[in-house]
Structure 1
Amino acid sequence: MSTPFGVDLGNNSSVVAVARNRGIDVVVNEVSNRATPTVVGFGVKNRSIGETGKNQQTSNLKNTVSNLKRILALPASSPDFTIEKQYFTAPLVEKDGSVAAKVRFQGAQTEFTATQLEAMYLHKLKDITAKETKSNITDIALAVPVWYTEQQRRAAADAAKIAGLNPVRIVNEVTAAAVGYGVFKTDLPTDKAKIIAFVDIGHSSYTVSIGSLKKGELKVLGSAFDKHFGGRDFDRAITEHFADEFKAKYKIDIRENAKGYARVLAAAEKLKKVLSANTQAPINIESVMNDVDVSSQLTREELEEFVAPLLDRINVPIEQALKTAGVKAEDIDSIEVIGGCTRVPSVKAKLAEIFGKPLSFTLNQDEAIARGAAFICAMHSPTLRVRPFKFEDVNAFSVTYSWEKDAEDNDHLEVFPKGGAFPSTKMLTLYRTSDFEVDAAYTHPEQLPKGTDHKISHWKITGVEVPEGSDSAIVKVKVRNDPSGFFTIEAAYIVEEKEFKELVEKDPPVEGEEEAEPEYKIVKKLVKTKDLQVAYTGHALPEKELAELLEKEFKMVADDKLVAETEDRKNALEEYIYELRGKLEDQYKDFASEQERETLSKKLMDTEEWLYDDGYDAKKAKYIAKYEELASIGNLIKGRYMQKQQELKDKLRSKQEAASMAKMAEKLAASRGEKKDTEGDVKMEDQLD
């Protein structure tokens, strides 16, 4: 049985939650952190993902990739490509029209698509969760930004598949948090819904969703976003300030040194967090570059001055979301705030000012999205029973389906309008004389982010046969905007008009009258006569390519595992050398002959020299062989030592048992003596009487 698995794929760090123990639990990683850095690093032999990737990031900048969700299926023609380059230390390149990362891995320059990179990271989260929960992890509900297009949502689903997961739902991040709020909030009304504003300001983006909530039901009324407003923008503003200050004060330019800039950026992030609770904070970095130590300080007022351009546009997504939802700020019952950047005092103050109401922090700012995603995943589980909850999201863009002209006048229709709720199903009726094709595309390409492909999907529908005596076949096409936000054609089939006899309903006879003979009328109904074949092509990866990428990923996983196991065997050999050498001169000294000690000491010395020379980069089997070679002698000596220890323990136990028996005998003898004396006294008294 698969444990329902929800992932909040954060830009800086990600949170994983699972449905178990009649609740939702956040999973801790291998170092017991509740959030895992969203980082993938590449080395000479293996990959470092998550915590290990973060640890080696500063020393391996050009081969470490972060900000994964920002480049997922990002078109190379998008202006965002240029913007994102400043946040990446690994080179970004174009591959098949989309952004990819170029790194050196296993001795060769390799280009990985963003889909592959995200798959690597999801596979790591899957392994962490499987080890922590000791269960099988298959199904996943993956939370993505509301501004993801069809292409990006498909790429997210493909990444999950490459990681060996089944994406049961791709859900908008803020919607996932709102679902968690609706499910676990116990005082929601059952009649008139509450209007809740959900504000999420994370590491890289800012989203506002207006939701209508009542018990067991959520309707997202409208959403808006700012893709370039988040914690990383605050961090960069601080870093740029110190870059200017250090240039003037210490005559060093960190902008010319990638490692130095990265270290100041990391310090700026910590400084920002300190300033959320304090009015001023220091910054100290040793040997930032050219062996120069730097120090300074920053006040909260100075930070607010640096980020003033950001704060000046914080109102825009709120106003857009309210307009789309058709409500006013005074109609909002509560403002629920999540996301790490909402801890910044100036951000909180500005939000409260715009809404004209105090903010609410009912939800966990860091974990709400993952918890909601886990619950959504549990809703899809056939083995778990969850609290009934219905929710609908809204389309960010309108979508039109079009087809070739044939027997009908129209050749297109806007099926799913902007702001329309999904999941949603519509039925198209077409009159066709032969096989045909259908396309789905965004209705207004000019409203899309620049560089976005306005085409969504293409379908070939085959098997059309015109019924005898008809000019064309009546084809029903079932189109759907599914729960993951994908635009699909679920089915297509031919219907024919056929005649049926139907009983005419009459009033019951009056008492005394005879019941009239039943009458029938002829009615015409459309009846499905044939299913048609529907072949899809679109942004989702073809099955063959998906299988190839899945194979590559699992090969890299196997390589990583082998490297880790090899390193473990190497460490075990090194530890055994030092341990055996120490015991040979101490504990084992009296249990080995002079010749054995000389032979073993020489072997230990030779193995140690080999380990730090030719054996530094040996294979796993070689380390095992060397270990077993030493153990073949060492275990003999150890066996003698252990045998002697056991003999001493047995002797000690025998002595203790003998002493215990003697003590018991003494007690028994003493108790018997007391009894005899008492009996003698009684007899003497009897004689005196």
Structure 2
Amino acid sequence: MSVVGFDVGFLNCYVAVARAGGIETVANEYSDRCTPMCSFGPRNRSIGAAAKVVTNCKNTVQGFKKFHGRAFSDPYVQSLKENMVYDIAQMPSGTTGIKVREEEGTFHRTGHRHASHQVKETAENALKKPVADCVVSVPCYYTDAERRSVVDAAQIAGLNCLRLMNETTAVALAYGIYKQDLPAPEEKARNVVFVDLGHSGYQTSVCAFNKGKLKVLATACDPLLGGKDFDEVVVKHFCEEFGKKYKLDESEKLKKLMSANSSDLPLNIECFMNDIDVTGKMNRAQFEEMCADILARVEPPLQSLLEQAKLKKEDIYAVEIVGGASRIPAVKERISKFFGRKDVLCRYNAVGAQSCLRPSKSREFSITDAVPYPISLKWAFCCRGCDCEVFPKNHAAPFSKVLTFYRKEPFSLEAYYSSPNELPYPDPTIGKNETFLKLGYLHIKQTHS
């Protein structure tokens, strides 16, 4: 069996395999290395590129990544409903379901399952043999509940997820694994900043590199900032312009039609609504002025990143940016200006988890990740309760600690995130008793006596 890496984004997915001591991103059945994260169609179930070309937007689903581990009542899920072209519904368990083809009912996480099957088939076609083991990249700000949901989705698709890897760490690994000029282990580390601005999330990390190893010093993010925000500005602008100019006052329908075309919005659209041809104009200066509030959110995570790592701008050796929204010139300019340098490099190919494969198949490289949020334990003995922080923010991960409790009577033990204000998830609880022992990115061992 071969191990494959999946970089699963909000809009697209990349698949990679280890070959001849290196990492190769493989092509799908359309000879494209980028597979759209789409599922379903108007009549038949289609996946990937085949699903993207359908015209029935109501039954074509993208962005399953948004719903991992989240309840339908989650405020974040509810905030997404207004701008989605497909419908979501509450499942009996309280989780979020995606509704397609009403005659067949509601499907729960089915889109992600079928998409997982699609990328699995892509890997098998490239390797010419079955694939079961995989490594999957996830946003660094994902909580335990979201990580467990990703593992469940992989399992449903018949995949054994060996490891979840933070996307910023995977980018760093792809950067360092082929570098021949990294400092020796005993020398001062090389500090590199990675900025990932994708469709629906903004992540940054600073990593220290030495020959054969990397250590994540700190991460910072804005989970609500992404290319979608720039899309929505354009959608809102043309909704208002077309409404006034062409008297298209069906605002809700207009907004959904514009949203469906926001990824690559033309300024001239034939028979857009009510058999009316519409046309509009926008230049870069207008766009940047409309997006000023969004662009202002680029710098704060970068400032937080340096403060957490206790580094100055002159301590940074290089800055690498990835993600679809990093193509926006104003975004790159903001990042360049913040660090006071012009040599900010763009890497538009999503590298994801494909570098984290079995050492026998690729180069040896030691990875020390970081815990994104502080983790604490609390327990109760009779009527007395105690708690303590076990892993502070940016603590090395994976990492094991042994906790010994000398008790004769049963007691409860709960793990939780101890900084709920910075948590992009409504529930800080990780788990109780045995449920939290495997968190997806670290392990806790406990011994009873």
Letter paired with 2:238 = F
Q: Is the 8 Å Cα contact of residues 63 and 104 (structure 1) preserved in structure 2?
A: yes
Q: What does residue 376 of structure 1 align with?
A: 356
Q: Is the 8 A contact 2:382 2:411 kept in 1?
A: no
1:65–1:88 contact (8 Å) kept in structure 2:
no
Counterpart amino acid of 2:418? Answer: T
Matched AA of 1:55? V
Distance 1:460 1:436, change over 3 A: farther
Measured against aligned partners, the alpha-carbon deviations of 1:501-553 in whole angstroms (never above 9, x if no partner) come to xxxxxxxxxxxxxxxxxxxxxxxxxxxxxxxxxxxxxxxxxxxxxxxxxxxxx
Distance 1:255 1:377, change over 3 A: farther
1:466-498 Cα distance to aligned partner (Å, 9 max, x none)? xxxxxxxxxxxxx9776x425544x6365xxxx
Partner of 1:86, secondary structure, is helix
Give the corresponding residue for 2:441: 485
- Helix, strand or coil: the match of 1:220? strand
User: What is the rounded CA distance, in whole Å, between the counterparts of 2:340 and 2:82 in structure 1?
Assistant: 36
Aligned residue number for residue 193 of structure 2: 197
Calculate percent identity across the aligned residue pairs: 36
- TM-score normalised by structure 1 residue count: 0.61
User: Which of 75, 90, 93 in structure 1 is aligned with 2:89?
Assistant: 93
Corresponding position of 1:354? 338
User: Structure 1 CA distance, aligned partners of 2:370 and 2:296?
Assistant: 27
The correspondence of residues 63-102 of structure 1 with structure 2, limited to 5 A, is: 63-95=59-91, 96-102=93-99
**Residue 173 of structure 1, aligned match among 161, 167, 176:** 167
Q: 1:43 Cα deviation (Å)? A: 4.8
Structure 1 gap segments, 5+ residues each: 272-281, 462-478, 495-689
Within 5 Å, which residues of 2 pair with 1:533-612? none
Q: How far 1:206 sits from its partner (Å)?
A: 1.0
When residues 450 and 174 of structure 1 are mapped into structure 2, their CA distance, relative to the original with a 3 A threshold, is closer
Residue pairs, 1:10-49, within 5 angstroms: 10-41=9-40, 43-44=42-43, 46-49=44-47
Report the equivalent of 1:130.
124
Shift of the 253–186 alpha-carbon distance from structure 1 to 2, 3 Å rule, reads: farther
1:459 paired to 2:427: no
Asked if structure 2 preserves the Cα contact closer than 8 Å seen for 1:6 and 1:141, the reply is: yes
Conserved? CA contact 1:169–1:377, under 8 Å:
no
Relative distance call for 1:385 and 1:35 in structure 2 (3 A) is: closer
Q: Give the equivalent residue in structure 2 for 1:119.
A: 113
C-alpha displacement at 1:267, in angstroms?
Answer: 4.7
| Count of residues in Structure 1 that have an aligned counterpart in Structure 2 | 446
Corresponding residue for 1:250? Answer: 246
Partner SS for 1:108: coil
Structure 1 residues 315 and 364, CA, compared in 2 at 3 Å: closer, same or farther? closer
Maintained 8 Å contact 1:336/1:359: no
Higher relative contact order, chain-length normalized (CA < 8 Å, sep 6+): 2
Could you tell me how far 1:416 is from its partner in structure 2? 1.4
Question: Which protein is bigger by CA-based radius of gyration?
Answer: 1
Give unpaired runs (5+ residues) of structure 2.
none
Cα distance between partner residues in 2 of 1:254 and 1:338: 37
SS of equivalent residue, structure 1 residue 148: coil
Q: Does 1:222 align with 2:221?
A: no
Q: Secondary structure at the match of 1:368?
A: coil
Q: What is the match of residue 296 of structure 2? A: 312
Of 401, 405, 409, 2:381 maps to 405
SS in 1 for 2:113: helix
For the aligned residues, what is the CA RMSD? 2.4
Q: Deviations over 1:282-317 (max 9, x none)?
A: 722111111111122221111111211101121111
For 2:408, give the aligned amino acid: T
Aligned to 1:344: 328
- Report the CA distance between 1:217 and its aligned residue: 1.2
Q: Which residue of 2 aligns with 1:512?
A: none
Contact 1:424–1:481 (8 Å) recurs in 2: no
- 1:7–1:29 Cα change, 3 Å: same
Quote the Cα distance in structure 2 between the aligned partners of 1:187 and 1:132: 32
CA contact (8 A) 2:21 2:363 kept: no
Secondary structure of 2:46's counterpart equals strand
Shift of 1:343: 1.2
**Counterparts of 2:381 and 2:257 in 1: how far apart (Å)?**
61
Match status 1:365 vs 2:351:
no
Distance 2:273 2:385 in 1: 67
What SS class does the counterpart of residue 119 from structure 2 fall into? helix
Residue 391 (structure 2) aligns with: 416
SS at match of 2:344: coil
1:436-486 CA-to-partner distances (Å, cap 9, x unmatched) read: 5432222233442352x222122359xxxxxxxxxxxxxxxxx9776x425
Give the structure-2-normalised TM-score.
0.92
The one-character-per-residue Cα deviations of 1:327-375 (angstroms, maximum 9, x if unpaired) are 12222111111111111111111110111112432x7322322xxx122
Cα deviation, residue 5, structure 1: 1.0
Task: Tell me the secondary structure at the aligned position of residue 65 of structure 1.
Answer: coil
CA distance in 1: counterparts of 2:242 and 2:385, whole angstroms: 66
Change beyond 3 A, Cα 1:23–1:87 = farther
Q: Does structure 2 retain, via aligned residues, the 8 Å contact 1:195–1:334?
A: yes
1:180 and 1:485 map into 2 onto residues whose CA distance is 19
Partners of 2:207 and 2:218 within 8 A in 1: yes
Letter of the 1:208 partner, please give it.
T
Q: Is the 8 A contact 1:337 1:359 kept in 2?
A: no
Whether contact under 8 Å (1:119, 1:160) holds in the other structure is yes
CA contact under 8 A between 2:377 and 2:389: conserved in structure 1?
Answer: yes
- Which residue pairs with 1:663 in the alignment? none
User: 2:38 touches 2:111 (CA, 8 Å); kept in 1?
Assistant: no
- Does the CA contact (< 8 Å) of 1:425 and 1:481 recur in 2? no
Which amino acid in the other structure matches residue 399 of structure 2?
Answer: S
Q: Deviations for 1:574-623, whole angstroms, at most 9, x for unmatched residues?
A: xxxxxxxxxxxxxxxxxxxxxxxxxxxxxxxxxxxxxxxxxxxxxxxxxx
**Deviation of residue 31 (structure 1)?**
1.3
Q: Aligned residue for 1:626?
A: none
Between the aligned partners of 1:254 and 1:332, the Cα distance in structure 2 is: 51
TM alignment of 1:382-531, pairs within 5 A: 384-405=360-381, 411-449=386-424, 451=426, 453-459=427-433, 484-489=440-445, 492=447, 494=449
Q: Deviation at 1:76?
A: 3.1
Cα distance in 1, alignment partners of residues 385 and 242 from structure 2: 66
Aligned to 2:271: 287
Question: Residues of 1 paired with 2:255 and 2:418: CA distance?
Answer: 43
Does the CA contact (< 8 Å) of 2:16 and 2:25 recur in 1?
A: yes
Residue pair 2:397, 2:442 contacting (<8 A) in 1 also: no
